[in-house]
């Protein structure tokens, strides 16, 4: 079935909204931008005084776009009021163009997480909520069956990055979740909870982190929560991209690169097939949808992500091959 596309107006409006949200993040600096090198990575912080203390708030890892915004941060701050009105206008355009907005409960929770610094500190939205945000990134129009809506919200982050940043969510995630009536879900084994369920509904928030060894529970120091470690997740959340949630005048989050998301779904589908065929089918459907779109829009990025996954060893190759046996047309597309 041919892919349905949003208009050029919708695609441009989405990326304008994303640009303004990124400008807003930098325009809020309270002090002096400070460059810090750690483990061959360069991070930028906002250094400011409170009384006799010097505080540092993490801005982001160095890249050309961030450097350009830091250079212009005073100019961006002066234009903040106009940006707020323009963001609201762009969100109205996107809703008129029938891009999907998040429901109020999910949108308000993501907004609270963003305000606390979850996404600034490396948190990445994964799962179906990430999949739906590719609608704006790729200009795709989703059908109802493409989404298989879920109330679950999955947030992933690197444990090592969380330790390296030397900054924390404010308020801590436990406080944010408690404000939304989420409580930790007890685990079978003694140890910290990594899943949080809303007491007055079915909504579930899960925190995840890549496993470099056993799949246990690990701390995410920057977010102040624990996370379930999973294999293959390091591949998914490497080099995430910003995304705009259509809630109020827009919320800035980050999501995996679409090509990595698509290939990761091939791996996850193989892991799930034996124990949850419904979810495995959803994984294959989302992978097919994105691979078909990326073959048109970003074939080189897709092929690079596919070859990267295959290069990671026999277990990765086996799981991808297991899923592609059920999707011979997709296997042919990937070569």
Structure-block tokens of residue 183: 């409580």
DSSP letter for 99, please.
P
pLDDT of the residue at 10: 95
Residue 62 φ/ψ region, left for φ over 0, alpha for ψ in the -120 to 50 degree band, beta for the rest: beta
Checking DSSP bridges between strand 152-156 and strand 204-210, what pairing results, if any? Answer: parallel
Is residue 31 within 8 A of residue 46, CB to CB? The reply is yes
Q: Is the dihedral of CA 238, 125, 13, 116 positive or negative?
A: negative
pLDDT of the residue at 160: 80
Provide CB contacts within 8 A for 142, sequence distance 6+. Answer: 100, 132, 135
Low-confidence ranges of the chain (pLDDT < 50): none
**Residue keyed to tokens 């999949």:** 131
Is residue 141 within 8 A of residue 5, CB to CB? The reply is yes
Phi then psi for 316, rounded to 5 degrees?
A: -65, -45
Domain-wise residue ranges, the chain? 8-256, 257-335
Provide CB contacts within 8 A for 171, sequence distance 6+. Answer: 116
Residues linked to residue 245 through DSSP beta bridges, in sequence order: 251
Phi then psi for 46, rounded to 5 degrees?
A: -95, 110
Name the helix (H) or strand (E) containing 83.
helix 80-96
pLDDT of the residue at 150: 63
**DSSP letters of 141-163?**
PPPHHHH---SEEEEE--HHHHH
Structure-block tokens of residue 38: 């750690």
Residue 24 φ/ψ region, left for φ over 0, alpha for ψ in the -120 to 50 degree band, beta for the rest: alpha
Distance between CA atoms of residues 240 and 266, nearest Å: 19
pLDDT of the residue at 214: 84
**Residue keyed to tokens 């047309």:** 329
**SS3 at position 189:** coil
Checking DSSP bridges between strand 204-210 and strand 225-230, what pairing results, if any? Answer: parallel
Structure-block tokens of residue 69: 């915004």
Q: What is the pTM of this model?
A: 0.90
Distance between CA atoms of residues 29 and 49, nearest Å: 12
């Amino acid at each position: 079935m041919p892919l349905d596309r949003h208009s050029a107006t919708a695609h441009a409006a989405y990326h304008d909204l994303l640009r303004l949200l990124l400008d807003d993040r930098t325009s809020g600096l309270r002090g002096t931008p400070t460059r810090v090198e750690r483990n061959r990575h360069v991070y930028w912080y906002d250094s400011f005084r409170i009384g006799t203390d010097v505080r540092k708030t993490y801005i982001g890892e160095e890249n050309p776009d961030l450097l350009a915004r830091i250079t212009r941060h005073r100019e961006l701050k002066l234009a903040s009021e106009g940006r707020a009105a323009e963001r609201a206008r762009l969100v109205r355009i996107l809703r008129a163009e029938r891009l999907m907005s998040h429901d109020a409960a999910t949108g308000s929770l993501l907004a609270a997480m963003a305000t606390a610094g979850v996404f600034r500190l490396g948190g990445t939205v994964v799962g179906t909520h990430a999949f739906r945000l590719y609608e704006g990134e790729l200009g795709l129009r989703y059908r109802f069956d493409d989404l298989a809506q879920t109330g679950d919200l999955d947030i992933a982050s690197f444990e090592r990055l969380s330790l390296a940043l030397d900054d924390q969510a404010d308020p801590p995630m436990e406080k944010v979740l408690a404000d939304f009536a989420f409580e930790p879900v007890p685990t079978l084994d003694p140890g910290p909870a990594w899943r949080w369920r809303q007491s007055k509904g079915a909504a579930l928030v899960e925190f995840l982190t890549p496993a470099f060894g056993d799949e246990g529970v690990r701390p995410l120091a920057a977010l102040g929560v624990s996370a379930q470690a999973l294999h293959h997740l390091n591949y998914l959340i490497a080099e995430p991209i910003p995304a705009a949630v259509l809630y109020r005048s827009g919320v800035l989050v980050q999501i995996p690169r679409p090509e990595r998301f698509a290939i990761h779904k091939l791996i996850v589908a193989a892991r799930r097939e034996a124990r949850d065929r419904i979810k495995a089918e959803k994984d294959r459907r989302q992978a097919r949808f994105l691979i078909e779109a990326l073959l048109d829009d970003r074939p080189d990025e897709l092929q690079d992500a596919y070859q990267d996954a295959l290069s990671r060893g026999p277990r990765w190759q086996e799981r991808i091959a297991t899923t592609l046996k059920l999707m011979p047309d997709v296997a042919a597309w990937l070569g």
